[in-house]
Amino acid sequence: MITSSANVDSQYLFSKIVQHDESITPMHLDLPDEVDDTISLAYGDADPALFPVDALITAVDSMLTGNLDISLNYAPAYAGLVALVQERMARINIPLAHNEIMLANGSSQILSLLPQIMCDAGDVIIVEGPSFLGAVETFFNCGLTIETVPVRDDGMDLDILEATLVRLAAQGIRAKFIYTIPTFQNPTGSLMPLANRQRLVALAAQYGVLIVEDDAYGDLHFENPIPPKLIALDPKWVLYVGTFSKILAPGVRMAWACGPSEVIKRINRFKTEGSNGPFMTRLVAQVSADGWLDQHIAVLNANYAKKCQVMLETIAEAFPSDVRYNRPQGGFFVYAYLPADLPVSRLLPAAIANGVSFLPGTTCYADGQGTHEIRLAFSFQSLEKVVEGIRRLGATMHQLRQA
Amino acid sequence: MITSSANVDSQYLFSKIVQHDESITPMHLDLPDEVDDTISLAYGDADPALFPVDALITAVDSMLTGNLDISLNYAPAYAGLVALVQERMARINIPLAHNEIMLANGSSQILSLLPQIMCDAGDVIIVEGPSFLGAVETFFNCGLTIETVPVRDDGMDLDILEATLVRLAAQGIRAKFIYTIPTFQNPTGSLMPLANRQRLVALAAQYGVLIVEDDAYGDLHFENPIPPKLIALDPKWVLYVGTFSKILAPGVRMAWACGPSEVIKRINRFKTEGSNGPFMTRLVAQVSADGWLDQHIAVLNANYAKKCQVMLETIAEAFPSDVRYNRPQGGFFVYAYLPADLPVSRLLPAAIANGVSFLPGTTCYADGQGTHEIRLAFSFQSLEKVVEGIRRLGATMHQLRQA
């Protein structure tokens, strides 16, 4: 546009929460540009080699030669997709009525809507540290007060959670929700065992705080069966968020939330674009039907398990021995803890110069922690590039120590 | 779920704006169930006979045999779709920089985000009456104070708008935005002439109030060229909202907003699902490319012009002579004004009993007006059903008078 918007006086024009003109998240680093053959281990993208192209093409052709009006006109989300999700949840002992479930454009949408429906300015929420960077950034930008509870190998540290709840209660503060990823946590890959899950939901009920259970990786377990979902342990105080991003394709932007109808009803009211649209809901339902999705998940898990194993083996060979890291049983990520002389602020520029990148742990905290932590995604790159990327990263660590 | 959510105390749990557990919109009517062969003239759905099935199938096949990662993984919206919209807007003298345009999941999403980024509780906005029912409902539910300005054959009554701005200013109130549909207004079909558009943008600039120009029907003109968009007359004070719903298919859920970068930036921050996803943005861009969209719009306009003409001819034959109605030059709707003895509260149940439905004018106002107004969509039904529906409705009117 030729004119500037100088006359639009932002202090008047906008609501209080958006007077700022930039994201206020403190966690962004200025990074050097990646070179062309940089191997990015930074983001939890799905493996494109596993996208079900033929199944999607068949589903689209079938949809568009059927009743067009129901897939291309104004129409609610396809009820069959809700039924499919209900059936999958019922199989793991989570029966859901129609008013206890909703579809969303990716689980990030639910995480963004929650502060709107649940929080007023200054409200307190409790978030794992480290956690999913998108959630942390969203909650931070909404102006919420974030209490960070550390994550151990068995998930959120429940002693610290309880101490936090006690301290808040003593101050007359009741947190609005606890955001947790109990299964193959992002970024640590940790898995919360049953006893901890039982204690967590009991604490939530005792203190009257809703748990938001982000289960993005819940189907991606490599071997052992996983403990029950939190929502199966206490449907009153858990809002569960699931997604097709990891088990079908992120690009379809399809997720669901389920839990107390009082919460679902209000999220739906603030889901600004209305339904997910008839086209994508039918496409996802059609391609997932008749057991196809379960077969596909089995294929994914075999693949991701292999890539995880190879990443761990290569780390064992390539990294300095004082770098600690987790051994996830599922999900997309290995999380590593760096020694004191290798902060991410030093490692990341050198790594990018050597043709490999990763996610700095600092992006996974609301409070500036994570300066010596890195997330390595084995999900996206090919086996060969996982190996080469880890070797480059290990070589970078050794180089920095010799410098 | 087996348990109730009785323990989730809603008064504590939710933010102030969603303490209510139901929509607070006053405009819903309890209607009798439609019978199976009811001809609905109520909703502005697109004509399913005109959906470009072959073009869509070709585009999907092409997309899914190319680089899958860019259409199915986590990825931003396809930049080519933004470029396509920019090119179309530039053609009508609306040059847009990258930070002055954004995509959305249907234009309703933009209309829902606006109150969030622009308004605090109790803020005043100005809305045409009647107007798009979705917008009216959204604004109402957000707790905004709505000033209603009547719509004439040449669009919003600007004398009343000016008087409203003067009155508000005298009270120390500056409205947050003016929501208008200047081209083939929903529901009245009115078209605002150039002189009125110039006066409208001058008033907005004078009083420092942003105009929200909803242009959902801007490409659907039957004959004459239409006046310049408001945003072309004053890019500083206009946020423009366009959509592919009417020119491609509602089911693709694809719209755009453009205007001051300060506004676009903030809407993007609160667009909770992030980007529109790579799949649908590529699909819409691919099918629309190389002039296809313009050819398709020409086909649509010939079809909708014919259906509009037939609806008007049938109304002239079938309705009592004291029913007034507009003669739109574009868009989807004929709007009719009923005589005093035929309020919609009386007409609608009888019409549904006779197998035809329409949109009551009361749904198009925030303040209870519209009791003797009805919206008739010629867009969705076939020519034959348009004729039969109008005949049934006219017969219902005559029956009610003879009763």
Q: Residues 54..73 of A with a Cβ closer than 8 Å to B: which?
A: 56-57, 60-61, 64-65, 68-69, 71-73
Per-residue pLDDT tens for B162-172? 999 999 999 99
3-state DSSP call for residue A240? Answer: strand
- A-interface mutation test, from B50, B74, B94, B109, most A Cβ less than 10 A away: B74
Other C-beta atoms closer than 10 Å to the C-beta of A116 total: 22
Amino acid sitting at position B295: Q
Distance from CA of A90 to the nearest CA of B (A): 9
Whether residue B299 contacts residue B153, with contact meaning beta carbons closer than 8 Å, is answered with no
Are A111 and A229 part of one and the same domain?
yes
Distance from CA of A399 to the nearest CA of B (A): 33
Are A180 and A80 part of one and the same domain?
yes
Burial of A20 (0-12, 13-18, 19+ CB in 10 A): middle
| Residue-level pLDDT, tens digit, chain A, 403 residues | 444 444 556 667 777 666 554 444 444 445 555 566 899 999 888 898 899 888 888 888 888 887 666 778 877 788 999 999 999 999 999 999 999 999 998 898 899 889 888 888 789 999 999 999 989 988 887 778 999 999 999 999 999 999 999 999 999 999 999 999 999 999 999 999 999 999 999 999 999 999 999 999 999 999 888 999 999 999 999 999 999 999 999 888 899 999 999 999 888 887 766 677 888 899 999 999 989 999 999 999 999 999 999 999 999 999 999 999 999 999 999 999 999 999 999 999 999 999 999 999 999 999 889 999 999 999 999 999 999 999 999 999 999 999 7
The answer to whether position A117 is within a domain reads yes
Q: Which residues of B touch A58 (CB under 8 A)?
A: none
The answer to whether position B14 is within a domain reads no
Read off the pLDDT band of B112 (50, 70, 90). Answer: confident
Is the model's pLDDT at B315 over the cut of 70?
yes
Q: Which two tokens stand for residue A378?
A: 């084995």
Mean pLDDT of B176-196: 97
Res B66: pLDDT: 72
Are A183 and A121 part of one and the same domain?
yes
Q: Which two tokens stand for residue A82?
A: 């809700």
Are A131 and A79 part of one and the same domain?
yes
| Complex ipTM more than 0.90, yes or no | no
Burial of A183 (0-12, 13-18, 19+ CB in 10 A): buried
Burial of A308 (0-12, 13-18, 19+ CB in 10 A): buried
Are A154 and A221 part of one and the same domain?
yes
The answer to whether position A85 is within a domain reads yes
**∠ CA(B18), CA(B19), CA(B20), 5° rounding?**
85
How far apart, in whole angstroms, are the C-alpha atoms of residue A142 and residue A137? 9
Domain boundary among B289, B319, B354: B289
Q: pTM here?
A: 0.84
Is the model's pLDDT at B24 over the cut of 60?
no
Residue B253 and residue A273: Cβ atoms within 8 Å? yes
Domain boundary among B289, B309, B333: B289
Are B243 and B121 part of one and the same domain?
yes
Residue A262 and residue B65: Cβ atoms within 8 Å? no
Res B19: pLDDT: 56
The answer to whether position B5 is within a domain reads no
Are A98 and A227 part of one and the same domain?
yes
Domain boundary among B263, B289, B315: B289
Is residue B11 within 8 angstroms of chain A, CB to CB? Answer: no
The answer to whether position A1 is within a domain reads no
The answer to whether position B4 is within a domain reads no
Are B274 and B308 part of one and the same domain?
no
The answer to whether position A94 is within a domain reads yes
Q: Out of A8, A72, A105, name the one closest to residue B236 (CB).
A: A8
CATH of the domain at B69: 3.40.640.10
Cα dihedral angle (B383, B386, B389, B394), rounded to 10 degrees? -120
For residue B299, what are the domain limits?
Answer: 26-44+294-402
Amino acid sitting at position A124: V
- A-interface mutation test, from B112, B144, B272, B283, most A Cβ less than 10 A away: B272
Q: Is the peptide bond before A130 cis (omega within 30 degrees of 0)?
A: yes
Of A133, A122, A100, the C-alpha closest to A173 is A122
CATH of the domain at B330: 3.90.1150.10
Res B362: pLDDT: 93
Cα dihedral angle (A111, A113, A116, A118), rounded to 10 degrees? -60
The answer to whether position A263 is within a domain reads yes
Res B273: pLDDT: 67
How far apart, in whole angstroms, are the C-alpha atoms of residue B42 and residue B334? 11
Is residue B105 within 8 angstroms of chain A, CB to CB? Answer: yes
Q: Residues 153..182 of B with a Cβ closer than 8 Å to A: which?
A: 174, 176
Number of domains within chain A: 2
Are A187 and A286 part of one and the same domain?
yes
Are B340 and B198 part of one and the same domain?
no
Are A88 and A176 part of one and the same domain?
yes
Are B37 and B57 part of one and the same domain?
no
- Choose the weakest-confidence range: A43-47, A374-378, B15-19, B272-276: B15-19
Is the model's pLDDT at B3 over the cut of 50?
no
Is the model's pLDDT at B270 over the cut of 70?
yes
